[in-house]
Amino acid sequence: MVDSDNYSSRKTNSIFGTDGIRGRVPTEITPALALAVGFTSGMTFAAEGPILIGMDSRNSGEMLASALTAGITAAGKDAWNVGICPTPAIPYLIKKLGAAGGLMVSASHNPPEDNGIKFFGTNGAKLDENAQRAIEKALNSEPLHNIADQTNKYGKTFHRNDLLKSYCESLIKSVGNNRLDGIRIVLDLCWGASTSCAESLFKELGADLIIINGEPNGEKINVNCGSTNLSPLMKEVISRGAEMGFAFDGDADRMLAVDGKGRIINGDHILYLWGSSLQDKGELAEQRLVATVMSNLGFEKAWEARGGILERTSVGDQNVYNTMVKTGSGLGGEQSGHILSKENGLSGDGLLSALQISTLCNSQGITLHEWLNKSFKPFPQKLVNICVPNNVVRKSWSSCEPLQAAVLDAEASMAGTGRVLVRASGTEPLLRVMVEADDQNAVDSWTKQLAHLADHHLNAA
């Protein structure tokens, strides 16, 4: 038996955030926790076949992947380690190979000190709440005590980085006959998972490619680069005279873009442009897009003017996925650049989004700058993150009467021309305050006031 105070302290009835398990290494995410998760997954994923493991470039990745592997094989399952790869490669390979499930070692857009584990079932989808609760229950029942019961039923470990080729081939296939010959494109790979294949993908389509932050580096991943900081990409696109640029997060399931003038293209614009292309070709079911409560009002009004339907969900790609499945939608996503498409089974994929946007743009014979001019005009919107370390206080922010009263005052003052959204992050110790309105002064004033009240009252609690 292996035991650990760190593992024990992490045990709770709610270890899952909005996207798997995530936290600081080694205080929250520990080898002991990963060993228990691996063993529990091996016992819980009942389907035949191996369990796949992928990872981004974080320094703690090898350690956690090894612990997961030990737990999986102790449960009698084979573990296939794909190595550094984009998160969406794992669900794709699960479905293609008929695997029992998959685990991705990544903290996505979080800083290098963090890490986490994302879970995928035998259908390639992220685990629903029932499956999450089953794993939590098993983890809380001291799973490591049961490893001794698996004598002579141990699984084997296989290193299968070769499987990444199949995933890349599927991305190339998704763009059909469209090409990028001679188009100058900058990619910011943020020292993360996209370094495993992004360059070769765009070069295969003929792009005149410029790469920044292009090597796997666990100490630099997401640090002042990638989709969380577009400044390096904007600078490189403008200085090199590129037509467009794409920035990915640490595990490449998100992407944000800039046009040749350095204008930012967020997830709302990606959905609008890609959705418009599908709509024009009659390939968008019910003219429906799925977005979250964070998406801009300007996007919603412009899409409705095109005769489309914008379905809103709570924040989180799992909520977008569930609504897309329920409504039969073929395209949806988040303002942050997490885009889900029927092209790859509704799996968030930054590389797929970048390839689609760039090739669709080129196929129309226009620049991304010109295409963006055909997009919607966003309402002024401002998002402020307030650090609230106390988890209980952060998640129960609505019990703070001064803050709640101010939110109601803000909404009343904007009288239907704007909105306020306050929510606790599911992956970081942050309270997110967003104000959106047709008047920039109202946005700035209310954002400042609400952020001050949140910091003053919640951090004094």
Q: What are phi and psi of 117, to 5 degrees?
A: -135, 125
Catalytic one of 57, 108, 295, 375: 108
14 as an active site residue: the answer is no
305: Cβ contacts below 8 Å, ≥ 6 apart: none
CB 98 within 8 A of CB 45: no
CB 55 within 8 A of CB 103: no
Per DSSP, the chain holds a count of helices (H) and strands (E) of 16, 18
CA–CA separation, 56 and 90 (whole Å): 12
The three-state secondary structure class of 432 is strand
| Token pair listed for 202 | 């765009």
- Which long-range CB contacts under 8 A does 220-224 form with residues at least 24 apart? 220/112, 220/191, 221/56, 221/57, 221/58, 221/112, 221/190, 221/191, 221/192, 221/250, 222/109, 222/110, 222/111, 222/112, 222/190, 222/191, 222/192, 222/249, 222/250, 223/111, 223/112, 223/191
Among residues 288, 315, 310, the alpha carbon closest in space to that of 299 is found at 310
CA–CA separation, 249 and 270 (whole Å): 16
CB 320 within 8 A of CB 312: no
CA–CA separation, 195 and 190 (whole Å): 8
Packing angle, helices 31-44 and 61-74, rounded to 10: 40
Angle made by CA atoms 132, 138, 139, in degrees to the nearest 5: 90
CA–CA separation, 192 and 179 (whole Å): 25
Q: Which residues are catalytic?
A: 108
